[in-house]
Structure 1
């Protein structure tokens, strides 16, 4: 890639957190025009890398050079709810100057503020319309729009600025289906440099390149996520064959080393016997013995060297195989018989006016979909008993557990093990450790404090605490569970839920994830809860 086409350069980039956790050591990275999907496991530093490029963090060593203006949309977006929409969009001063001029104020300062941007309001409304926000007035406050609309407002502000480089960190989190579709279109139409961190498969299938951040280095692939995964699957299959071949070679070299030891031991016994019987002159026998010992040493070293080489090849082959373990845990106590009543919503009215009638029986897997602000999270909180119903009745007939978007069910000051035991006080510590190993918390990891976990680890710990709780949950409520999870963590979540034998009610805008769950019924909340066609 030539300097003329390179817009982002990281040279010798080194960064570590204050606690000593190192993310990058001498990272070399060059990004040119086009749409790049930045993927990697949770905790590898994807969001940190974007913040370094955006200038929000300072590297310990190395340099970051960016050609052109940067537009950055962070993962955790917090806006002042009292701010007006036009200020969030960055056009409040120009609007004020325009309105002053239209009102007859000839002050030259107003003309200086407007510059050449006389059509700013029309351009702004066109951008808002492009993102499905045409109903939002410029004089409204942020507190009057939904969380998903807030994300799109910030994106609209970036599009209006037309930066040369656009950095997006998990932009589809909390967006409903329609909003995601509009964001996909905006990404597809982007003409500059775009780097997006996301777990959204549909979004990553609209990029030009995939950059896989792993162990402090980046591997590039020209193409979409699906094409990258197909290539990676072929590579991994070949790598696993190499491991099997290397393992067989190690076993063979071990056998040959044992046989060599046996052969040498036999020769030594024969030589010792000959020495004792004095069949030849003592001087000749000493020379023969010394020669035999030297030959035996060389023979032994030859086989030991071959074994060491075979082990090196095995280590190298194993290093090429990715350790993306899946969660497999046996949860028989969560099982629900096919005709058992699990949940009843009898003409229930929840906050903000939504109404719901619902009967859940047996181990159904239900997807709850709907636009942002329809009340999906409110409905789940009401079923979980965290919010009271306005009218009607909500009755859970089995033990249930609820995992909210904010993942606040764990005590930050406790270890993973102690958090699970808090919800399952009767469980033996060793049994809990054995189960946590199935959730990929092995050896000393269960003793790690929650406040030191990465986002994906925190989610796994929360899921383990819920699924291993006592009494065993026979109804599991999940609210946007794939938010902030990397692709490997999403696969781990799917594998864990495959082991779950109870009823499942999950609110999500992540359609590919819902399809992987084997959903048996689709419900849409839009004023009222109703059956929906599968998405």
Structure 2
């Protein structure tokens, strides 16, 4: 008897309150083991995970799981008020244990604890190898780096030991050593694991790959590389089929034209014979009618062959994928070459960014990169510790946690708020170049995928008035698919202002043609190096 798949989708559909359709009649299953769920930004991956997890309710159809499941949202980094215990998913158990220790005999508290009387000891044992052994469980997530918060949340789901676990972009904000720790957790994960990610190394650890493309689910055996290999084979075949179908259509059209030419000649010849008086009129009319009937049949037959050839071409073209490109032109900020833009570091060892220099800020999770950026933006000048100062006031800042915009306002409204002289058409055109079109531009920011939200923030920088002379980007590739990361690096390559980028994505940094790196280290140090190591 075949085993029941862990997750089954039956005619699953979901529409946003605006009426925009996110998923329509989606059918498919997820296999047991480790599965990578991939697809372009905005294809509906995060929405699908929320539907499976019960965070959203289908408009129609069902998303069924064969066992209890746990879910890690993509927006975890936004939950700054959560405590470490909440990130780990044990806050309710700890509160019940505290109540029982204080003398409570409420059955609800005992139900909350269940068999988890040693939960804190088990959690400490899991956290010790990750470097969090002495961590205060009441500490706020806002005091942690994004990478630390993510690793703690994943660890909490591992402790929960649900039969099915859903992870949405779990490597966001993780430095290299922390990613390695996460990879080890994933490799030894018990039960079914479904992971949405753009991290190719993580996707290579998967046993299966499921792609969400053009509103359909396709299951591929093996990791991301096996998927890519099979997809490339399919695309080569599809492109060849399209070329063959195009050639066939040309032949059929040419034969249709040639046949029409022959028919026209025959018609002229018959008319000439009739006019010459060489044939009785009744016989000429009979032959003309017969000729027209035959010509009609021939035209119908040839038209049918042309239509069939066109249908084969249309079908072949549908199998050939067209990758949409982010198409943005960053305005020239008119930044003088020798102008001092910012200073970072300590009073004893400051580092000055000047002109259109391109600088990467790197370092381990928790070493203070984001804190340093915030100090610089707040004007905390370098002193005995690390700090920074801006020498220009035209600065565009993309925060790691994508904060600062109104999640209840639409993409259009958020962008328009920073560009008061831009027309609605200007804003729509900018968002369209960032692949946010139609109803997506009018949906609340909070309802967009992580990649789509990033594009809205980027649009606020690009249309800001006046044009920023310094762009500060904190982990800009979080939630972006592989193609979008490449396109973003190309757009930034044409920017003529100064650029300061924090990223753990070494491949992305290598594409930016950086002038140098600043690396945060233990004890609040900052060191300068050159980008050869990331190439």
Deviation at 1:285, TM superposition (A): 0.9
Q: Which runs of 5+ in 2 are unaligned?
A: none
1:477 to 455, 467, 472: 472
Alignment of 1:84-233 (within 5 A): 85=85, 88-90=89-91, 91-92=93-94, 96=98, 119-138=118-137, 140=139, 142=141, 144-233=143-232
1:389 pairs with 2:390: no
Paired with 1:95 and 1:492, the residues of 2 have a C-alpha distance of: 51
Alignment partner, residue 241 of structure 2: 242
Q: Report deviation, 1:282.
A: 0.9
Q: CA deviation at 1:382?
A: 5.4
Q: How far does residue 327 in structure 1 lie from its aligned partner after superposition?
A: 3.0
Q: Give TM-score, length-normalised by structure 1.
A: 0.81
Q: CA deviation at 1:276?
A: 2.3
Superimposed CA distance per residue, residues 485-517 of structure 1 (whole angstroms, 9 cap, x where no aligned partner): 233433432343344454432112223333343
| Distance verdict in 2 for CA 1:315–1:357, change over 3 Å | farther
Matches within 5 A, 1:312-327: 312-327=311-326
Aligned to 2:362: 369
For residues 391 and 228 of structure 2, the distance between their equivalents in structure 1, rounded to whole angstroms, comes to 41
Shift of the 470–151 alpha-carbon distance from structure 1 to 2, 3 Å rule, reads: closer
CA deviation string 1:209-241 (max 9, x = no partner)? 111012332111112223322332332233233
CA distance 1:496–1:409, shift in 2 (3 Å): farther
For residue 341 of structure 1, give the secondary structure of its aligned residue in structure 2: coil
SS, match of residue 30 in structure 1: strand
Kindly tell me: are residues 248 and 135 of structure 1, through their superposed partners in 2, closer, same or farther at Cα, counting changes over 3 Å? Answer: farther
3-state SS of paired residue (2:3): helix
**Distance in 2 of aligned mates of 1:304 and 1:191:** 60
Residue equivalent to 1:358: 351
Q: Deviations over 1:298-355 (max 9, x none)?
A: 2322332222122212211211122222235566846879xx2364444656xxxx99
Inter-partner Cα distance in structure 1 for 2:283 and 2:114: 107
Decide whether the 8 Å contact of 2:415 with 2:427 is kept in 1. Answer: no
Q: Secondary structure at the match of 1:4?
A: coil
Structure 1 residue 528 corresponds to structure 2 residue 531? no
Offset at 1:37? 0.7
Which 10-residue stretch deviates more, 492-501 or 110-119?
Answer: 110-119
Offset at residue 196 of structure 1 (A) = 1.0
1:76 is paired with a residue of what secondary structure?
helix
Instruction: From the superposition, tell whether residues 356 and 471 of structure 1 become closer, same or farther in structure 2 (CA, over 3 Å).
Output: farther
Structure 1 Cα separation of the partners of residues 59 and 423 of structure 2: 45
When structure 1 is superposed on structure 2, of 23-32 and 309-318 the one drifting more is: 23-32
User: Is 1:56 paired with 2:58?
Assistant: no
**How far, CA to CA, are the matches of 1:399 and 1:80 in structure 2?**
28
Is the Cα contact below 8 Å between 2:18 and 2:443 reproduced in 1? no
Structure 1 residues 97-146: Cα deviation after superposition (integer angstroms, max 9, x where no partner): 8978xxxx999999998776665443221211243322313455556544
| Pairing 1:28-43 to 2, within 5 Å after superposition | 28-43=27-42
Q: TM-score, normalised by structure 2?
A: 0.81
Q: How far apart are the structure 2 equivalents of 1:482 and 1:410? A: 21
Whole-angstrom distance in 2 between the partners of 1:342 and 1:207:
49
Label 1:236 to 1:300 Cα distance change in 2 as closer, same or farther (>3 A): same
Alpha-carbon contact 1:148-1:174 (below 8 Å) kept: yes
Residues 379-528 of structure 1: matches in 2 within 5 Å? Answer: 379-381=372-374, 386-391=377-382, 394-396=389-391, 400-405=395-400, 406=402, 408=404, 416=412, 419=415, 423=419, 425=421, 438-440=433-435, 445=438, 448-449=441-442, 451=444, 454-455=448-449, 456-467=451-462, 473=468, 475-526=470-521, 527-528=524-525
- Residues 418 and 465, structure 2, Cα contact 8 Å, conserved in 1: no
Structure-2 separation of matches of 1:323 and 1:252? 26
Cα contact 1:417–1:446 (8 A) shared by 2 = no
Residues 256 and 113 of structure 1: is their aligned pair in 2 closer, same or farther, counting only changes over 3 Å?
Answer: closer
> What is residue 281 of structure 2 aligned with on the other side?
282
Instruction: Provide Cα deviations, 1:256-277, integer angstroms capped at 9, x if missing partner.
Output: 3333333333332222222222
- Kept in 1, the 8 Å contact 2:38–2:196? The answer is yes
> Taking structure 1 as reference, are residues 132 and 204 closer, same or farther at Cα in structure 2, changes over 3 Å only?
farther
| Separation in structure 2 between the aligned mates of residue 434 and residue 113 of structure 1, nearest angstrom | 52
SS at match of 2:74: coil
Q: CA deviation at 1:407?
A: 6.3
Structure 1 segments unaligned to the other structure (5+ residues): none
Counterpart for residue 338 of structure 2: 341
Q: Work out the CA distance in 2 between the residues paired with 1:83 and 1:436.
A: 36
Aligned Cα root-mean-square deviation (Å): 4.1
Q: Distance in 2 between matches of 1:140 and 1:451?
A: 31
Give the number of equivalent residue pairs: 519
Give the SS at the match of 2:202: helix
Residues 19/421 of structure 1: CA separation in 2 closer, same or farther (3 Å cut): closer
**CA contact under 8 A between 1:346 and 1:358: conserved in structure 2?**
yes
Name which of structure 1's ranges 135-144 and 189-198 shifts more when overlaid on structure 2.
135-144
Cα distance in 1 for residues equivalent to 2:279 and 2:45: 76
Q: How far did residue 280 of structure 1 move?
A: 0.8
SS of 1:184's equivalent in the other structure is helix
